[in-house]
Chain A
Amino acid sequence: MLRTAALLIAFVVALAGARLASADDALLADVLHRLGENGGVRARYHERKTVSLLSAPIESAGTLYFDPPDHLARHVEGAGGAKMAVAGDLVVMRDATGEERLRIGESEVARGLAESFSVALRGDLSLLGSRYETEIQGDLASWRLRLVPRSRALARLVDRIVLEGSGGTLRRVELVEVGGDRTTTEFEDVATGVHFGPEERARIFLIDRAPARVDD
């Protein structure tokens, strides 16, 4: 009898675990679906970087732009503010000293860093699953998604990326590096369904001038 009870308890626990896993999958799918439904996004961000080399964190603020499926840009506030954009395979960084253009190619590290959270904004569940191990907690009103890189090359640098949000709105991203350094980005004034016109698109995502050369 005791043995039967133990089996029954194990069965119920397993069933509860399975239901829990199913519920997580459903939440993840729902969250990504809502994120994907946002279309173009514009949001103000505030970023805080804790780097072991530095005695105090670095703080910056600016505006983030996302035009699905693969255009992402950050414009830092202030005079001479730097701009960074990812447009497909190309990463462009521009500041007061000049401009650099790099092609990501098949570099897992470069791709992982450039798309650290935009891959979630695309709402592509299968793509997210192929790049990261996923674990989601909470509910639709307040969710927390933890991503651990599957790529060994990226995993040597990045321990985890944690996204927090509500419904289809991303509120906070934290990237924790293997050495303990971390970058926390909080978003506010999030506008979704943004449509970028051709000129605006070129200006924001830094494809507004033909490059002289691109480094491979």
Chain B
Amino acid sequence: MTDRAIRLATVSLLAFLAALAWLRLETTSSITHFLPSPEEAEQVALVRELVESDLSRTMLLRIGGEGDRAGAARALAGSLRELSDVARVQAGDDPAAIEALARVVFPRRIFLASSEPEREIPALVSKEALGARADALRDRLAGPLGILVARQAPGDPLDLVGRILARLRDARPASRAGEATVLVRTRPSAFDSERQTRLLDEISERFRLVAARHGPALRLEQSGVNRIAVATERSMRRDVQTTSIVSWAAVVAIFFGFFRSLRALVLAFLPPTIGIAFATCVAGALLGPVHGATLGFGLALVGVAIDYPIHLIVHHALAAKSVPARDSARGLRRPLVVSGATTALCFGVLSTSRFPGVEDMGSFAAIGILTALAATLFALPAFLPTEGSRLATPALRHTAAALGEALAGFARLRPLGFGVVAAACVVAALGIPRVDWSDDPAALSSVDPSLLEEDRRVRTSASGVDLDRFVVAQGETAEQALERNDAVYEALEDAAASGHLDGVRSLHAALFSESLQRRNLEAFRAERDLSRRIEDAFSERGFERGRFDAFTREVFEPSALPLRPEDLADTPLAGLVDATLVPVRGGFAVVTYLRGVRDAHAVAEAIEAIPGVRYLDQAEILRGVFEGFRRTTLRLLGVSALLVLAVLVFRYRSARRALLASLPALVAPAATLGVFGLAGFEANLLAVVSLLLVMGMGVDYGVFMVDACASAERFGATAVALLVSCLTSIAVFGVLALSTQPALRAIGLGTGIGLGVAFVLAVGTVALAGDREPA
């Protein structure tokens, strides 16, 4: 096949893969991609379902300031209902919604009277209680709302509706005087940043128009998971754009410095680009939606896989005589294949992780690297001129010569080699025990503190609940989940009475299970002579006899069926139902939010006897997940290191040469961690991922350097190729250390430090190798 045909085929293939990836690729940004497989961790499975449920789709909007706040809230709610991405909207004081609530609750007042009907209802209808009720009713009839009370009293002399409304008061988001609330449930997931960004912009714009009509001094505060997710993504994208510009500028400067040719730059990026495009197509075809972090990690492979074309280009440019590029590639085949295979192995081990997102990253990386290697060996030569010297600049030649001489000098300084390795090991030994590990997921991203404060202020002032801790009652059916939730409510009320927490926000306040509702009905029916007792007690306090027959009739001939979740759909409590009754795998879950938890252990104990019920501390669970992810990745790093060593022993048939070649891969990650510990840098799971990159590139440096030791011709070329690779990789990754996002900064620091250490250790292998040995 001619070089021209290969070039045409390569460009066509790249265009095809890029188009396929662009058209077919679906991405996701959900954190659930980095949670363990559901089969393994039930609690985490529940958390991931809750994260993806309507809970995260709910926004709270508060309107304050001077002006017609209530009118603005209703106008805003009406305007937002027009948006296709809004599933439900409620303004806090919508009279129609309140009237709908009254129509739903009043006919069911008997069913919803008490959480403990067998105990409370007999007490409610005792002679003393009925007398007190009659006195209270008299007082209320005398009050300003007596006209309303008089209409309701014949059907509800015991004021059961008042009891129910008092319970409901705690279940709804409350407004401070001077503020109005609007509850919004969005259709797209909170993590669908494209749609959420559009929606948030619409909310801001529509509020601006509403405020112009209802009071220019009105202000809007918002709370919602979507705002945090969108803000985080915007910040990360801004950072990546900034660091990309700096990165590219540095890479162009490096290539111009050594090759004075854009052609060399383009050719160097060709194989990694093919690798990423192919890996993306495979991921899209086999994995379904690809996580943004997986794609980001894949793009980082450029910095790893660019080593192979750089080596080929440099060696071909510095070849002693003009040879076809294919011959240069043939001469480098063995070291390139060994380094590519071991690097792919390093990342491929990740695909054995129990975290789906990490598995994807490992598979993506391994496929991408092997493809880039193949493209380097078989396609890139067709793009290189036969006269490689046309690519070489005086800077490249001089640097190669100088480095070759320097390394030749090193080869006679074996103690220096031992010193370099020993220093790295000492740094590792001293620093690793001091490493400050952070597994807090919140610490991976940096969000505007004012945004977080606004979110916290709006949510906690509305409900006062701790959003990270809750109790979940699961059931195969909604009724079973509600029954368990009834028991949870009782247990947590007792726990609150004992001072273990301040209170709860529970669906139980608005909705009992059907079985509990029927127990209420039966409890009233069990009271003998109920009608006569009510008549006697009330008539003694000045009431006319026969006025409360409607109530006793309702006990024996209810005018409505027990309340169901769907009955609350058009009422102000619809938001509460959406936020607490969640379909999950295997049935339903009812979430109870907690206020002011003082003793989490006591709270967990209070509910542990109830089947299908758990206490969840979401922050703790995610922290444990991230810690598990970190430990797993560290363990896999160790496994990768052993596998790399085994492959190199097989390649070199010499334990000594295998150990020399693997030195940068084995020691650089450890020394990097040591630097983190000694310098006081916070280490997180992204820092661990960066160690993988260091290991992957470190093995390249070690293999190339050990192979170069066998040939005088290659020594200088290999050294300058390694230098260009190292500088390029530091420009691609190390620049991330400038990012404001902790996750990106961790990768930048880890790779920047690690690659520098790996390069120094690669030089150290020259000293340890001593005089050149045959390959």
Contact = CB atoms under 8 A, between A and B. Distances in A.
Interface string B135-146: 000110111111
B175 interface: yes
A52 B142 contact: no
Nearest to A56: B542
Contact of B93 (A103, A113, A181): A103
B395 to A, nearest CB: 73
Nearest to B538: A53
B175 A51 contact: no
A56 B150 CA distance: 14
Contacts of B176: 211, 213-214
Contacts of B143: 82, 84, 93
A55 interface: yes
Interface in A177-205: 177, 179, 181, 183
B95 interface: yes
A53 B544 contact: yes
A158 interface: yes
Given A113-B144, A157-B148, A55 B544 contact: yes
Contact of A181 (B147, B177, B542, B543): B147
A117 to B, nearest CB: 12
Of residues A58, A93, A179, A213, which shows the largest number of chain B Cβ atoms within 10 Å of its Cβ?
A213
Nearest to A58: B142
A215 B169 contact: yes
B57 to A, nearest CB: 22
Nearest to A102: B145
Interface string B497-526: 000000000000000000000000000000
A105 B148 contact: no
Interface in A128-175: 157-158, 175
A49 B146 contact: yes
A157 B148 CA distance: 8
A105 B95 contact: yes
B231 interface: no
A158 B175 contact: no
A106 B142 contact: no
B174 interface: yes
B543 A54 contact: yes
A101 B177 CA distance: 9
B569 interface: no
Contact of A89 (B70, B145, B172, B544): B70
Nearest to A95: B139
Contacts of B150: 51-53, 177, 179, 181
Contact of A113 (B95, B141, B147, B181): B147
Contacts of B324: none
B93 A216 contact: yes
Nearest to A156: B151
B485 to A, nearest CB: 24
Interface residues on A, range: 35 or more
A105 B572 CA distance: 15
Interface residues on B, range: 35 or more
A210 interface: yes
A31 interface: no
A58 B141 contact: yes
Given A105-B70, A106-B93, A157 B175 contact: no
A114 interface: yes
Interface string A32-74: 0000000000000000010111111010100000000000001
A214 B144 contact: no
Contacts of B93: 103, 105-106, 216
Contact of A55 (B144, B145, B174, B542): B542
A55 B543 contact: yes
Interface string B221-238: 000000000000000000
A49 B142 contact: yes
Contacts of A52: 150, 544, 547
B535 to A, nearest CB: 12
B153 interface: yes
A52 B542 CA distance: 11
B74 interface: yes
A85 to B, nearest CB: 10
A125 interface: no
A90 interface: yes
Contacts of B177: 90, 101, 103, 210-211, 214
A149 B352 CA distance: 76
Given A55-B543, A214-B176, A216-B175, A60 B148 contact: no
Interface in B459-506: none
Contacts of B71: 106
Contacts of B175: 103, 213-214, 216
Interface string B553-588: 000000000000000000010000000000000000
A86 to B, nearest CB: 9
B624 interface: no
Contacts of A114: 144
Contacts of B148: 109, 113, 157
Given A82-B139, A113-B144, 7 more contacts: A51-B150, A52-B150, A52-B547, A53-B544, A53-B547, A106-B74, A214-B174
Report, nearest first, the 5 A-B pairs whose CB atoms are least far apart.
Answer: A216-B93, A105-B93, A216-B92, A213-B174, A58-B142
22 contacts: A49-B146, A52-B150, A53-B141, A58-B138, A58-B142, A60-B142, A82-B139, A89-B70, A91-B144, A103-B175, A106-B95, A109-B148, A113-B144, A158-B147, A175-B147, A179-B150, A179-B151, A214-B176, A215-B169, A215-B174, A216-B92, A216-B180
Interface of A: 49, 51-56, 58, 60, 74, 82, 84, 89-91, 93, 95, 101, 103, 105-107, 109, 113-114, 157-158, 175, 177, 179, 181, 183, 210-211, 213-216
